[in-house]
Structure 1
């Protein structure tokens, strides 16, 4: 590949909550760096996923789901922080991917599109989860309806989960980026530390196993992250807002906490490529999700 033909740049991955943005980022990067669950707003932090190809490099900005500001009277500090993180993802990017769920388009999708166009960015529409559409013939009129009156640089139906349709998507997104050398090394896959990723792996299991009971009342703080030869020793504190929530996380005889720890440890070992000794504790900090100081202490920085 001619060096002058190489393209690289930042691409915001935007959409309403729970359309598969993080699954798409993981699929393009080729590694699990962004946590996923069936619960909306699983992603809380802005995270860079670095996807390097022979012809170019996509620096993907994964964000919390974009939603309208609810106002300080109803939104918690956490929700306001996530919306700032999502909007902040648009600063300094070269293009954007608007991710929607196949067959669905509502006011939240239209709002996300308007935000992107208002920022003056070229927008690639990524219609995700096409594998779930039984009547494929219905996709054409749906795509025509969504595209009417809107300007997309390209439209790509994909299945991020099954990694279908991604090659053509990469080609069209790279075409929107400036010609320049890679911004990150070929072996780099994210801007986040292993310590940060360890906390996210624990939080993913909380969202997956307790999403119905404690959707947003938990966060994770890594108190210890040490290398001991070939072993990683990690200590994770799970913070909740009430004593009753602490009992739910621990479970009968500690069974649920052990299951959360075991599954998180397996994900860490897969991502880090080393053995992990993980210890977990559950502590209470009342009202942490609506406390700006607590959010900063737990790593939620603008």
Structure 2
């Protein structure tokens, strides 16, 4: 486990790239001083509060992971085309020390899957809601991404409170990727004030050429004052708390973690779906969350 190798008092300007993604277009430039951290270790004083090393083959650990399936019948947000399965090894399984989330081209038997909404693709959306949620901390997910056109994998967080309406409670996208732009990694935040509906979203993107062939560590350092996103200890995007308004900074309440592959949709399906390239996998080697003792929920 390593953390960002940051240079003390270095001033880093992050110039987010403009994309056509409705969730990431026209981002603002962010400039701030990055905090000092020791390289090659979690931030000083942080303790491991959650981990899954995926050492036991079979379905994901039910003590740590649940399945988000609540929109299967009516269809998922962003005009996505997948059905998210629950406890189905074809779509989510641990195999050889790796969590595999697999998107497939197939239809299902409604007698066996009564919430099936006639989708032609299946996948999985794992989350920790109701099992683990955190306010602040250092997050690391070591993953290898799918690059098939039409795939839309993500590692992200949402409010633990199910009554909070998006985007009021904030969304943290630790990593997003779309298959028609292989190796382009996106980091974003969404709030009531900063979201794509208003054209004010905050995001950055960068190219990681081996994202789909090698494992990389996607990281987030979340404190009461900033969100710092990184890959393999390199800082990529810093979002600072500049005002106390909850519309700009709602990130002081617990959020749970999500792992998924969407298929198609307004962004992921912009250039179609390469059906012949399916199935597609996101492979995850580990998930770890660290916190300061005073921050533990």
**Which band: TM-score by shorter chain?**
under 0.3
Greater RCO (Cα-Cα under 8 Å, separation 6 or more): 2
What TM-score do you get using the length of structure 2 for normalisation? 0.26
Q: Highest Rg: 1 or 2? A: 1
The answer to which structure has the higher strand fraction is 2
What TM-score do you get using the length of structure 1 for normalisation? 0.26
